[in-house]
Amino acid sequence: MAIEQLKECWQTKINTVTIGATAEQGGSRLHTVTVGGQTGLPFLSAEAEIPYKPQIAFEIWDILPLDWPEDLMRVYGGCLANPLEWAEKCVEDFNAGLLCIRLQGAHPENENRTPEQEAHFIQQLLRQIKVPIIILGCGDDEKDNAVLCACAEAAKGERCLIGSASSNNYKTLVASCIADGHNVIAQSPIDINIAKQLNILITDIGLSADRIVMDPTVGALGYGLEYAYSIMERARLAAFSGDKMMAMPFICMIGQEAWRSKEARASQQDFPTWGEATARGIIWEATTAVSFLQAGADILVMRHPQAIEKVRQYIELFNI
């Protein structure tokens, strides 16, 4: 007697968002990256359509990242001081198909770079590197308004993913994304209601829902992962149940969270029972990433190439 498999049928699918534009599409990228499109929960490919696999973006700074632990910085060698060489290394040596550029040099407490300086840097990067890019600001709302708008104009036609737009600071950035043909990251502080309201506000001023990616502000393993996981899970279930204002793909800043945790940074000398420091940090980042894949993450922004490779293998193994 044949056993019939029961399958969950949902009302709504996740929006598809494409990053990058080829020459035929008005840009200069050699390929594009598309995420979203799922009709069911992660890993359940037997009952749901999962047309696009999760993507991993290598995180790159425009300045030397002085707060990164030595074990993480060592893997990139001397190229960390030159972001163009750093980006090239990620693409050529580590097979990066997506880069995430963090413009930390614009922060007033760092080098306080001008919008013009950052726009020139983005133009240089786009000329030298031909993969799609994500552009992140420095975290200072006032400075980001000016810097990200200038970078959006400098990258016009390349269909970048730019962020982050928050409920208190979204109008200027979203207007630039509309004008210059980019996608936007909608960032909310681990709150499903704020996330939905921000998506509504962004679409109300004219950016289509298929150009929005949500950043739910996650935490690392042992540092709030469980709470962030539950928020993402609730958002995804709401989307599948028919709430179109929650049907946006997720981006998770994995490297940023994992590598500032004590367990990833602490030396073996200080904590001899914790094991070798480099391996511990890699495992901390990879485990955090895999956990959020199960919550529905579509884009993971990561730092260590070995952690990225482990997560790539996981994605291929489970065919998600």
pLDDT in tens, 170-183: 999 999 999 999 99
Rounded (10°) angle between helices 277-295 and 305-318: 40
The number of CA neighbours under 13 Å toward the Cβ of 109 is 4
**Which residue shows structure tokens 């793909």?**
249
Which domains, from first to last, does the chain contain?
Answer: 16-318 (3.20.20.20)
**pLDDT over 90 (residue 266):** no
pLDDT at 318: 80
State the pLDDT at residue 207: 97
Q: What is the pLDDT, as a whole number, of residue 82?
A: 96
- What are 35-87's pLDDT values in tens digits? 999 999 998 888 889 999 999 999 999 999 988 999 899 999 889 999 999 99
Q: Is the pLDDT of residue 270 over 90?
A: no
Assess whether pLDDT exceeds 70 at residue 205. yes
Query: Which pLDDT value is given to residue 44?
Result: 85
Q: Is 55 helix (H, G, I), strand (E, B) or coil?
A: strand
DSSP 123-185: HHHHHH--S-EEEE--S-HHHHHHHHHHHHHHTTTS--EEEEEBTTB-HHHHHHHHHHT-EEE
- Indicate the pTM of the whole model: 0.96
State the virtual CA torsion across 102, 108, 113, 114 in degrees, nearest 10. Answer: 110
